[in-house]
Amino acid sequence: MINEIKDSSFESQEFAPATPVYKLIKGVIKDDDSMFFQFGPSIEQQASVMLNIMKAYDWYIFSIVTTYYPGYQDFVTKIRSTIENSFVGWELEEVILLDMSVDDGDSKIQNQLKKLQSPVILLYCTKEEANTIFEVSHSVGITGYGYTWIVPSLVAGDTIVVPAEFPT
């Protein structure tokens, strides 16, 4: 939709076309009822892509590891609703919610991550939290052969410089 606005900088005082920026930039998502612009895929879109990757490789058994990072409930809800309404035989084994704000060492995180037996793990958190989670995951043996971690773009961030803690 193009609106007409009067611009005093035009000598002819004609009307100049105006359109919202989010409609001009590919990849910008804007809900008409929202005051926020989103540059990049939504949490729901990233969750869908993660499930599509898993489906392409026939990885139907998985777990979710998340922190209290904003949007974690939307992420888990999207995953759950998609697999519940799917004809694919998904098996969500564990949903582990890690509290990274508690400074009691890594023992609590270790105990929670030891529960994981899934070959595929979806991780939703910040890149900084992922460093700690991967470090602890390595210590409990769930980052090596037989385990695949899938992360959304907010965790991966800059893929040129990948932290040493991230599994390879």
3-class DSSP state for residue 163? Answer: coil
Token readout for 145 is 């052969």
Quote the CA–CA distance of 134 and 153 in Å, as a whole number. 16
Token readout for 80 is 């759950």
Query: Model confidence at 152, in pLDDT bands (50, 70, 90)?
Result: confident
Pair 27, 82: CB distance under 8 Å = no
pLDDT, tens digit (0-9, with 9 covering 90-100), for 7-46 = 444 444 444 344 344 344 445 555 566 665 556 778 888 8
Query: Model confidence at 1, in pLDDT bands (50, 70, 90)?
Result: very low
- Side-chain-side CA neighbours of residue 41 (13 Å): 12
Q: Which residues contact 131 (CB under 8 A, 6 or more apart)?
A: 163, 165, 166
Domain 43-156 has CATH 2.60.40.10: no
| Spans of all domains in the chain | 3-39, 43-156
Q: Which residues contact 69 (CB under 8 A, 6 or more apart)?
A: 124, 125, 126, 129
Q: Which of 109, 103, 164, 101 is nearest to 131 (CA)?
A: 164
